[in-house]
Structure 1
């Protein structure tokens, strides 16, 4: 029973939320997530933002001076503050929040403390590929015709597919995801499948995803229904909370967060998914504000 549960339930959960196998997540990380589901069940129900997910960052951005498509060359701390080099020009700041992946942070932060370097070096990521197909908007409707019975997402055990971890019906996210009678089906690659297909052409990726979705999805009886729309090679999709990683991050947060007026934020710092990254951003903003008093 233990192995059966691990292979078909726990591994499926980890594959959906993290894209890798359950063997790559620590007991502490897994137990904390499962305890969250048990203790804060209502918070795990899906809630849609009016206007789509983009509405939230756009609302934040409307109150800030945001620069898009801007290449940050390097971030350097010094006694008087922090210097940022952007597109060949440098600007001085009192403090800087580096809110990006550990890989990007390592590339731009020129003189980290030993503790800051260590937390960037310890980060590991799982890859994925997200493939979007256009489908008729009513494809996932159930025979009852009841909207509440419409399928939103399907989790796939590893035993059933070594390529995909899940697929979703995007029409469930709001009417803005239905256009001209079509919506999107998103297929998510597991880490192993992503590593195999990331170097391949878009056509090969679409073909592999099409064949697997057609095989697995009872609502799709004809492969021609899946119309290729877009895909994204997500090489650092989710951080891995492997055994020992939580303690390493905890040590960094207690000893080197904010050193040299450089603050780190991101999901790899024990803050999984969009929700965790958002909460961490709020926490870091408060810490920066307090340090500037």
Structure 2
């Protein structure tokens, strides 16, 4: 498209004068916004700083296994993402219906399920008195009309944003429910605790989740990144883009990309708030206050290749209460996703860190992260602990031994143990160096052989801005901005931190703001120009 010429197209049987819009960020929010604007007849350019699209909806294929370091599944009630998937022919499959969840208390695993309020009575991790208090709370909530949409928290009335979830729940149902249900549930999904969640978010989430048959995990063919990839193929996406600054100007909004200047009618920030804050020149007071109010929970995702029969039962997710472990927030056994996550008898076991521990480890090396995580992992997953502590013997009598640096640079070395009278479990785990097989080495003869090790370190991803925190008062602040200040000087903000939780909320945010931009642009009359400066 020649960006120097305005074109008139038809959209919804109305003439549309094509305008130029820049989207900063090719996550699901930015791609959805760009896709809808392009359908409305506008010229859209998406700038992405990374080499690939998707953001938290990323999928990496390594050693034949799909690793989703961010969003690891979708839900049947993600209607916007489901509609895009149907449009592009991406099929979703439900996770294994037999899968179960567990929560850890005092080093023991307890079953965890909450498909309907009455299942609270089966929560053996809680005392009976706590179960009854929790059941009464959920039954009252089920009978109440909780206004608002979880995926668009700006639709909730201000009076729902009256407290943080932790404080409110401790008053209503007690400390035990918060420590062993609310906090681990929040930390599994958001990596931080329920004191960083407002009552507006908590109440709308519980209302949308409990008893909702559509609240059911599913997995798209090709991984969660299949949807962003499909959207990106229809758009102009400039990857590895260095957006230096975005400056409102008299004739539009100027974007400096690596020293080259482009003029747009509107610019949409679809990136984390700190990145938007760094790029936006001359923000309004409202924009400054909005971006300054955003805070994020962090996590580090680690993936290990483990045997598909690691669990004797159908365990899928391990919820780890913060009162039990300050490092690990949850673990997910990926076998339930089907063939894409199973190869050569192995599947992935993903480990997610709590917000605070992730922040402390964010700048550490992979080896330092593993050195911290592995001992904690043994505490929360007995099956993995037993596997890690088994003496690994290959068919030629080589034993797997811990080297000082487990990963990377050293790995695990084998020594000849055929003359050992008794093979005792090692205090450190037999973690493989990499690949599907590990090298075992006879320390005397230097003879080597290949042997399949029980556990392999697979991959790691650091997420400094994993999930925004919806603190008490934050939902109301963003709601006011959306109503009164969104679009000032041609600048728009979208994504989960704009009261749009999770990937579905982010996609809805992009689609919703695209409609607003299209409306706003129809009322503008200034000429469109493109200028370049060195």
Q: Structure 2 length as normaliser, TM-score?
A: 0.52
* CA distance 1:82–1:162, change in 2 (3 Å): same
Q: 1:243 maps to what in 2? A: 472
2:201 matched to which residue of 1? 29
Looking at structure 2, the residues matched to 202 and 164 of structure 1 have their Cα atoms a distance apart, in angstroms, of 16
Query: How high is the TM-score relative to the length of structure 1?
Result: 0.92
Distance (Å, rounded) in 1 between the aligned partners of 2:513 and 2:311:
41
Q: Which runs of 5+ in 1 are unaligned?
A: 143-149
Using the TM superposition, name which of 273-282 and 150-159 deviates more: 150-159
Partner of residue 53, structure 2: none
1:52, 1:174 within 8 Å by CA — same for their partners in 2? Answer: no
Q: CA deviation at 1:176?
A: 1.9
2:185 matched to which residue of 1?
13
How is 1:170-189 mapped onto 2 (pairs within 5 angstroms)? Answer: 170-189=334-353
Of 352, 356, 377 in structure 2, the residue corresponding to residue 192 of structure 1 is 356
2:170 alignment counterpart: none
SS of the aligned residue for 1:43 comes to coil
The corresponding residue for 2:253 is 82
- Asked if 1:271 is matched to 2:495, the reply is no
Displacement after TM superposition at 1:77 (Å): 1.2
Greater gyration radius: 2
- Structure (1/2) with the larger helix percentage: 1
- 1:1-293 equivalences under 5 Å are 1=130, 2-38=174-210, 41-140=212-311, 142=313, 150-220=314-384, 221-223=386-388, 224=430, 225-293=454-522
Corresponding residue number in structure 1 for 2:439? none
CA distance in 2, matches of 1:91, 1:186: 42
Distance 1:155 1:102 in 2: 29
Aligned-residue RMSD, C-alpha: 1.6
* CA distance in structure 1 between the aligned counterparts of 2:215 and 2:242, rounded to whole angstroms: 36
Q: CA deviation at 1:141?
A: 5.4
Q: Secondary structure in 1 aligned to 2:504?
A: helix
CA deviation digits over 1:18-44, x for unaligned, max 9? 1112222222221221122136x2332
Contact 1:210 1:226 in 2 (8 A): no
Worse overlay, 91-100 or 171-180: 171-180
**Do the aligned residues in 2 keep the contact of 1:48 with 1:174 (CA within 8 Å)?**
no
Equivalent residues, number = 285
CA distance in 2, matches of 1:201, 1:292: 47
